[in-house]
Each structure stands twice: as structure tokens, then as C-alpha cells.
Amino acid sequence: MEYRQLGASGLKVPALSFGAGTFGGQGPLFGAWGATDVREARRLVDICLDAGITMFDTADVYSAGASEKVLGEAVKGRREQVIISTKVGLPTGEGPGDAGSSRSRLITACEDALRRLGTDRIDLFQLHAFDASTPIEEVLSTLDDLVRAGKIRYVGVSNFSGWQAMKSLAIAERYGRPRYVAHQVHYSLVGRDYEWELMPLGLDQGLGAVVWSPLGWGRLTGRIRRGQPLPAGSRLHRTAEYGPPVDDEHLYRVVDVLEEIAQETGKAVPQIAINWLLQRPTVSSVIIGARNEEQLRQNLGAVGWSLTRDQMAKLDAASSKPAPYPYFPYERQEGFARLNPPVDFTPPAAA
């Protein structure tokens, strides 16, 4: 397993990390993802650690906290071997204090997460969404207190816009508060919006991308193909409305190229989709999920090799979309382009 710096921090994380969204299995969304119990979770953690996956990601909203509980039990007795990442901030109840990033909410959410996980500290503590109703100074001051108390080690965010992340980083620098080192983002071959603003921000500010849903919300599993109905067992039947929308023709165009490269390499479609992400700028770790051992072992096959420059270029071309405003002038008009020369994101040719 390759290990990478998490953004501009000193924390080294595995190129692949494990998402515990399938642990617990409660509610219409997470119940459709999976219902892994403690015994099964221990087995998956065993496989991960054997393969060098040491970071495990969860959130307080995953199965109403059950995911954190199952993960805590699964890593019991080997806490020093793992990096625990969790997220807080989305609504966990109907009360006025059951959501957001206020001082009261963050302290309570941290204590609750520590209790469910059965640990004395959280290695990576992330805000699951931007809270426009709470001053950023209050958020960062609270995170500073939690870091100084030893309850959290590093801080990050998830699903922030560019201005939200940049304003937070600027305030952190001004007042000497902890800087966010990770941004957990949606990024895949059928969801490249991350590249327009958040990737340049990550490059400039040292925000490492921790990628969620690298298979496009279950669309890049190799089971969805042009001209065929959605497989009966696909979780998209129950969860498509919760995830990022994808145009069918765009999906099929990407899948066609993935299948072509699968024939060339002998690799599975999901392995190719994940390997493409691992060669993109700012990506510190890609979160893989699995409902069973077979899925996990297949996803582990995404590391230890690299797509060629030509294969990357084919995937780039098939998955690209026109830039939205204000970015399209910089792609199409010479005067704009001269101010911001394009960056070549493709890897060097193999020796």
C-alpha cells in the first residue's frame, strides 16, 4: 500500500481508506448500502489491515450512529494500528441543537462520537457540511479547544464550496487556529466538478482530497452497460435520489472506455476507475466501501499498478464536460488562457 501526506499536514494516510457507511445498516439510505454487523466488520478490518489500509472513515449520521459503534467494536484491541476519521454537523435529530457547527453542537458531537467509537481521540475530525448560521471564528475556536484537549488530532471539512473553505482557512491563519488539512469530496469519472475550483484550491492551500463515492454512487461497478436495464440487485433502485445526478449518455460514454481498458489490462472496471483517481492531483486517499469480502478484495486490486498516459488520456476525454462559468472563458478564449496556462494533470509516460 502506498502512503501519502494528508494535504499539508504531517499525517500519512493510505492511498485507499475504508468507508464504514455499510456498518450498522439502519434507515432507508444506509440500510440499502449494507448492514454489516460487528463480526463481519472485524473480518473486513482484518483484510484491510493485512493490505495496509489503516484509515477508516465514518460519520455520526451513518445509520444514526450505529456505524461508529460497529467500527469502534471492530477495531477494539488494535486502536494504535488505525486512523479513525469521522464527520459531524448534519442533522441527527429534530431539535434546534441537533445540527450545525455551533460550539455547543461540536462539543456534544465530539463527545458522542468518542463514546460510540470507544476511543479517547479522533484522528481526523471533519465538518460534514458548511454551517452558514455559525460564525467561522466560533467554529475554529471550538476545534482549537478540542485539539488542545487531545480529543481530536487533525481537522478537515466535507462538501464545502471554494469560498467557504478559503474563508475558513484565512480566518484560521489570522487567529492561529487549526487549519483544515483534508477536504472529503465527491470525485469520480462521472463526477469531475471537484476539478473546477476545489482542486486548484487544494493545490494552493494544501488541502488533501479524501474522495467519497469513487464509483459514481455505484454506477461504475461494471454491471451497468449501454442498452441494458439497471441490474435488479443495484442499490441505485433505492438510493439514486440521494446521490449526485449523472446523465445516462455521459455514463455510458465513460463505461465504454472503461470496458475497453479493462480488456487491455485484465483489470476490473471498478479497479480502473479508482486507479484513475489515484493519479489525480491533490488526492490523498480514496475511500472504498464494501458490503462483503469479495467486494473489498476486488477494490484492493486498484493499487500496485498504474494506468498508462494514453489510457488516462482516453478516460479524461470520455469523462470531460464543458466548463461552467466563470471557467469556460479560460478554456476557450486566448486572452483568458494566457493569464492561466493549463496544467498538465496526466502522469508521465511509463519508462
- Catalytic residue numbers? 62
Given a contact cutoff of 8 angstroms between Cβ atoms, the answer to whether 211 and 284 are in contact is no
Q: Report d(CA 153, CA 13) in Å as an integer.
A: 14
Dihedral of the CA atoms 189, 67, 157, 76 (nearest 10)? -110
Which of 246, 249, 257, 342 is closest to 307 using CA atoms?
257
Element at 72 (helix H, strand E): helix 66-74
Q: Report d(CA 345, CA 231) in Å as an integer.
A: 34
Q: Report d(CA 28, CA 326) in Å as an integer.
A: 38
Which of 80, 72, 113, 244 is closest to 236 using CA atoms?
244
**What residue spans of 89-233 are helical by DSSP H?**
103-117, 136-148, 162-175, 198-205
